[in-house]
Structure 1
Amino acid sequence: DIRMSGVDGLSAATELMALPQPPKVIMLTTFDLDEYVHKALQAGAVGFLLKDTPPRDLIAAVRTIHNGDALLAPSVTKRLLERFSAAAAQDGEAAAKRLEALSERERAVLVAVARGMSNAETGRILDMREATVKAHVSRILSKLGMTNRVQAAMLAHDAGWV
């Protein structure tokens, strides 16, 4: 548990993880706070459940953890997914904003790059010479402040272009 007499559960988990053969730790608490979830996972816990978890689910959780998986309370999982989705949306918006600096032709070249096409393939598809594609790629990298095609391709993916 997070709060116990003598030593708190977070300290106990940390001490247990320092053992030569540490056990798998599941935190079981009434405190559904992100701060405690983060600290418990940092301390080495592989499970975080609330005390209102039905007995059948507690037994299933022990089996799940024993089999090498991890488990979070549904409310914790929901919050993490919401935060992850919100962060991904913000990342996508930020990526799209950065890509506004590109011309239409540069955008087309970047999409081809993000799809893994070579300069020669991009040139064939966009009806331009390979040297022209190279020039566009160079300008794209310069405008975006990047050093390689992979970085630019990842930004295009983050923006949802591919």
Structure 2
Amino acid sequence: MIGPVLAIVVLVLTWGRDLPALVVTLVAVVLGGAVLAAVHHAEVVAHRVGEPFGSLVLAVAVTIIEVALIITLMLSGGAKTASLPRDTVFAAVMITCNGIVGLSLLLGALRYKVTRFNAEGTGAALATVATLTTLSLVLPTFTTSRPGPEFSPSQLTFAAFASLGLY
């Protein structure tokens, strides 16, 4: 119970201030600890509820943490952070598709010499990721209802429901 209280105290004491490097490092360590504790609790819940709901619990927990961090950065950064959500989603897609998959294949090949995977599940997952990526990162560039790579409110509503349906 001390963790969330400590996190709120640190947030209140540091909000909107220019901090020395030592304090920024301390805040980063506390934030990292809070995130790891939250993910650990989500993992405990995921083990208790079992598959497939456990995977959903973990995915939702990580998504909530990521969205909270993005919103916090956007609130403290002003107008210059408008592209932060799009850039973060792109980074997550790249890390997932290239980093995690590549590392898994490399480590599997080093350990077992031949790596096997479920092509049926892999194809469905990659198709969903490709569709969500196109919908959220590529399509806004080609819409003409608003200047820049932005959806109009009705397009954003459609994209939200389409993403929810795919999820």
* TMscore range, shorter length: under 0.3
Higher strand share: 1
Higher helix share: 2
Greater relative CO (CA pairs within 8 A, separation 6+) = 1
Considering only CA atoms, is the larger Rg found in Structure 1 or Structure 2? 1
